[in-house]
Amino acid sequence: MASDFPAWLRVILAVLATWRITHLLASEDGPGGILFRLRVWLGSTFAGQLIDCFACLVFWVAAPFACFVSINPLDGFVSWLALSGAALLLERTEQKPLIIESTVTHEGDQL
């Protein structure tokens, strides 16, 4: 594939784009809540389950980006797996909010 970007930059861009699109679809409401409404509309269908699972969705989002970084089919297949894996690693490094729960009990209360 002819491109003005060096190969290493294409891979970095593809990983970031894969993560961004997957995160948008799986975890964000989108402008005007459109993605939230889409997830509600899809419900528990196969597509609904797919869009609710980052690890499932990233596999499919990475597919077109594999074409951006590869030349032949074998490279494309390996790139597909690598891009989805790298985006999944990025997602897992995301800081999750700290939830603090009270452990103080009053006399007569049970945990």
Provide the pLDDT for residue 71.
87
- Stretches where the chain sits below pLDDT 70 are 1-3, 95, 97-100, 102-111
What pLDDT was estimated at residue 94?
A: 74
pLDDT at 41: 92
The secondary structure of residue 3, as a DSSP letter, is -
Q: Is 23 contained in some domain?
A: yes
Question: In degrees rounded to 5, what are phi and psi of residue 38?
Answer: -65, -45
pLDDT at 22: 94
33 domain residue, yes or no: yes
Residue 31 belongs to domain spanning: 7-92
pLDDT recorded at residue 48: 86
pLDDT at 93 (0 to 100): 87
pLDDT tens column, 71-91: 898 999 999 999 999 999 999
Dihedral pair phi/psi, residue 17, rounded to 5°: -65, -40
Q: Kindly state whether residue 1 falls inside one of the protein's structural domains.
A: no
Domains identified in the chain, total number: 1
pLDDT at residue number 1: 46
Looking at residue 69, its pLDDT comes to 92
Q: Give the pLDDT score at 44.
A: 86
CA distance 97 to 94: 10
> Which residues contact residue 83 at a Cβ distance below 8 angstroms, ignoring those fewer than 6 apart?
11, 14, 15, 18, 62, 65, 66, 69
In a domain, 2, yes or no: no
